[in-house]
Amino acid sequence: MKILMLAPEPFFEPRGTPISVYFRLKALSDLGHKVDLMTYHLGENVSLRNIKIIRIPNLFFIRAIKIGPSLAKIPLDFLLFLRAFFQLIKTRYTLIFSHEEAALLGVLLGKIWRLPHLYDMHSSLPQQLENFNFSRSRLLASVFLWMERFILKNSQAVIVICQDLERKVKKIGFENKAVLLENFIDFPSQEFSEDKIQQKRRELAPKGEKIVLYTGNFQSYQGIPLLLEAAERIQEKVIFLLVGGSKAEQEEMKKRAEVLRVQERVIFINRVSPSFVPLFVSLADVLVSPRLSGTNTPLKIYSSLKSGKPLVATNLWTHTQVLNNSNSTLVDPTPQGLADGILFALFDEEAKRRARRAKEMADREYTYPVYLEKIRQSLEIARAKFKTN
C-alpha cells in the first residue's frame, strides 16, 4: 500500500505520541508498505525503509511545541492540511492514516479523494483539555466532543491504545471499527556492561542508597509533587532519580524539593534518548508512576513490566487497565500511600516476586509479531469497510 500519514507533532522527539508514531511507521515498513509522513517542521529525522518524511514550512517561526493542546498548533495544523492537500494532488495513495487531531484533516481529505481513513486515537480529544489544563470552557469541550465523534463516525477503522479508549469507542457504537493496540514496543537499548551500570550507580548513590526511578515528562497529571511529598516521608537511605522534564519544569520541582527539605535525596536528569533510558532502569531498585489523572495507560508501564524491576503505581484506572497487585504495587494517590508502597517495593520479597511475574507476562504477551498483526488488522478493516460503504 501507499499510505499518507498525518502526524500533528514534532517528529521525532522522545515523548509519547512521536514514539508511538515511530513504531507505527516501523511496523508499516516491515509489513512492506510505503509511507509518506506529513508532519511539523520540528524534530529529528529518522531513517526507516520505505518511509519518507515531508515537513510543513516554518512560516510562523515556531521553535517548540509543548505537550498537549496549544494555540500554536492551530496555524501548524492549517499548514499541515494545505501541504497534505497538494501532496494528494500529485501522488496517488491507497489510504490516509492520521494521528490525534489531524484525524479531522484526514477525514476531510479522505472524503475529497475517496480514500479510506484510519484514525490512530492516542487519547480522547475533549479529555485533553482537562488533562493539560488548557481550558475549562464547556463550549470548547463540546466542540472537541463533536469533533471526536465526527472523526469516529467517518473513519473506517480506529486504533485505540488502551482499554479506556476501546470502551469509549464501543459505547458510542463504533466497536466494529476499533482495534486495541497498546504501545508496548521499545527502542533497542544500548548495551551497557555491568561495570558501566555499577559505575553510574556509585555516581548517583555513593553511600549505597536505594534508587527509586521516575522517567517521563513533568506535566501536572504525572504527579511529580506527590512523589516529592512521598520522599519527605521516607527516612531510609533512598535516592529519588527523576529523568525528564524541561529545564523550567525541573527548576520548579527543585524549588518544591527544597521546601520539603529533600533536595539532597532528589536528583534531576535532563531528557535522554529512549535508547539510554534502560541504563537508569538497570541501576534502579524500584520504578514508580505517581500519575494523578487521565485514563490512558502510560507508555513507560509496558517497559517497566518488561524490566523485571518492582513497580509502584497509583491505584487509578490509568494504571489498572494493565496493572494489578499480582504484577505491581498499587497504592492510594496520597503522599503516605505512595511512600508506603515504595518502602514495600524496596524491602519486601513479595515485590520481587510480583516483578518476576510481570516480566513473564510481558515477555509472553507484548511481542513484536502481536504488534504487527494488530497493524495489519487495522489496515484490513479500513479497506474492507471503505469498500462496503
Residue 67: the pLDDT is 81
Mean pLDDT along residues 68-94: 94
What pTM does this model have? 0.89
Give the DSSP letter string of 129-183.
HHHTT----HHHHHHHHHHHHHHHHH-SEEEESSHHHHHHHHHTT-GGGEEE---
> In the structure, what pLDDT confidence band is assigned to residue 66 with cuts at 50, 70 and 90?
confident
Give the DSSP letter string of 266-281.
EEEE----GGGHHHHH
Domain 194-365 has CATH 3.40.50.670: no
> In the structure, what pLDDT confidence band is assigned to residue 188 with cuts at 50, 70 and 90?
confident
CA atoms within 13 A on the CB side of 374: 22
C-alpha closest to that of 327 among 344, 305, 348: 305
The average confidence (pLDDT) of the chain is 94
Q: Cell numbers for 320, please give them.
A: 489498572
Helices 299-307 and 349-365 cross at an angle (nearest 10°) of 110
Domain 2-185+367-388 has CATH 3.40.50.2000: yes
C-alpha closest to that of 235 among 339, 387, 150, 112: 339
Mean pLDDT along residues 151-167: 96
Residue 69: the pLDDT is 82
What confidence tens digit (pLDDT) does each residue in 210-225 have? 999 999 999 899 999 9
List the domain boundaries for the chain: 2-185+367-388, 194-365
Quick check: do 2-185+367-388 and 194-365 share a fold?
Answer: yes
